Amino acid sequence: MKITEVKTFVMRGVERNWLFVKVETNEGIHGWGEASLEFTTLTVQTAVEEMAGHLIGQDPTRIEHLWQTMFRHGFWRGGVVLNSAISGLDQALWDITGKAYGVPVYKLLGGACRDRIRLYAHGGWQTVEPLKELGFTGMKTGPDAENVRKAREIGGEEFALMVDNHGMSTPHEAHRRILDLESYDLLFFEEPCPPDNPDVLAPLAAARYRTPLATGERLFTRWGFRRVLENQWVSIIQPDICHAGGISEGRRIAAMAETYYVEVAPHNPYGPISTAACVHLCAAIPNFAILEYVYSNEPWRTEAQVEPLVVRDGHAELPTAPGLGVDLDEDVLRSRPYEPIPFGHRYADDGSVADI
């Protein structure tokens, strides 16, 4: 079996554009991947199309060989654009390989460690009850203390609360925010500080809060996670399977984390292929914690899938079909073409640039 063509599709979801990658073969088996990236969708699309030159004519089941080729033979390595392109193509190769051998991807990864995948959604205190009615057992929200207090009061002790700080604070500001939220028994406090210098997590880790720290959505490949894990600065890492290097690299990052007893809660705010890829990875790693799921992406998440991934009672069921278990309706993808998304801007009171 040989790869004959790589195609890309950009579909406007609800909050974002989704970038899907389709890899076709001479035996009629195709695979889907996702490389969605806010604000630079078309840049990643071009990177995928350029990187396809490494794959045409190759055996798609040589996943590791092709991953190494894409990562190392472009000479210039790293960064979110190139790693997102690799990630989408890698997912598609796993999809093809699962179909070729007639098994779900998680079986290729060693088999399922669990029977279903726990999901969390997003919202404020007003959405806690609706989410609980849908079966969700956890929610991620912003760092406003009053919002968190109300969410805990409504959700009760058994409802998991997570706070996303979005890397917007200095270490001192993050310290104060975490202390303000200590009494609400958070599952984790995400991205306390900007991702550029992970060493600033050291004093926060040394503070030994009751609240576990999490980071990683803007770290790429195992090399990006190395210092965070070796120094044991966080309790939970959040690799994004669309940016960190795909399923292949996600599995390696999870194995690194396991040696430090760090759990994995993948970042997953994108479309249906990202979610499917995450479900397979999460099924096969022992140190999985919980998976992000944007339920508000409906109806287009479901409409884009020929047979949608089954989500029931706040959990994703493990697919039984070969590969990723999800196929996309290309007519639906084309019916929702790319739309530019305004850049997010945030400024301090004096007009200077602040982190978003």
Residues 29 and 165 in one domain: no
Residues 32 and 145 in one domain: no
Active site residue 280: no
Q: What angle do CA 183, 139, 353 make, to 5 degrees?
A: 85
Residues 290 and 141 in one domain: yes
How many other C-beta atoms lie within 10 A of the C-beta of residue 211?
Answer: 22
Question: What is the distance, to the nearest Å, from the Cα of residue 134 to the centroid of all Cα atoms in its chain?
Answer: 22
Residues 285 and 264 in one domain: yes
**What is the arithmetic mean of pLDDT over 231-257?**
98
In a domain, 347, yes or no: no
Per annotation, catalytic residue among 166, 243, 280, 345: 166
Q: Is the pLDDT of residue 125 over 90?
A: yes
pLDDT at 119: 98
In angstroms, what CA-CA distances link 306 with 34, 288, 325, 327, 330?
16, 28, 10, 6, 9
Q: Which of 103, 131, 165 is the last residue of a domain?
A: 103
How many domains is the chain built from?
Answer: 2
pLDDT at 276: 98
Q: Residue 34 gets which letter from DSSP?
A: E
Active site residue 267: yes
In a domain, 341, yes or no: no
176's enclosing H/E stretch is helix 171-181
Q: Residues 66, 52: contact at Cβ < 8 Å?
A: no
Ordered DSSP codes for 183-216: GG--SEEE--S-TT-GGGHHHHHHT--SSPEEE-
Residues 290 and 152 in one domain: yes
In a domain, 352, yes or no: no
**What is the arithmetic mean of pLDDT over 289-295?**
96
| Residue of 19, 1, 81 whose CA lies nearest to 328 | 19
| Domain CATH number, residue 253 | 3.20.20.120
| Domain CATH number, residue 62 | 3.30.390.10
In angstroms, what CA-CA distances link 310 with 117, 149, 301, 315?
11, 32, 12, 9
Tokens of 329: 């309706």
In a domain, 334, yes or no: no
Question: What is the distance, to the nearest Å, from the Cα of residue 144 to the centroid of all Cα atoms in its chain?
Answer: 24
pLDDT at 343: 86
In a domain, 20, yes or no: yes
Residues 243 and 97 in one domain: no
pLDDT at 356: 86
In a domain, 128, yes or no: yes
In a domain, 316, yes or no: yes
In a domain, 333, yes or no: no
**CB within 8 Å of 146: residues ≥ 6 apart:** none
Amino acid (one-letter) located at 233? W
Residues 43 and 85 in one domain: yes
pLDDT digits (tens, 9 = 90+) for 305-333: 999 999 999 999 999 999 999 999 999 99
Per annotation, catalytic residue among 267, 280, 315, 345: 267
Residues 142 and 290 in one domain: yes
Mean pLDDT value across the chain = 97
Tokens of 15: 């909050």
Residues 96 and 114 in one domain: no
Q: What's the whole-model pTM score? A: 0.96
Amino acid (one-letter) located at 29? I
Residues 117 and 238 in one domain: yes
| Residue-number span of the structural domain to which 216 is assigned | 107-323
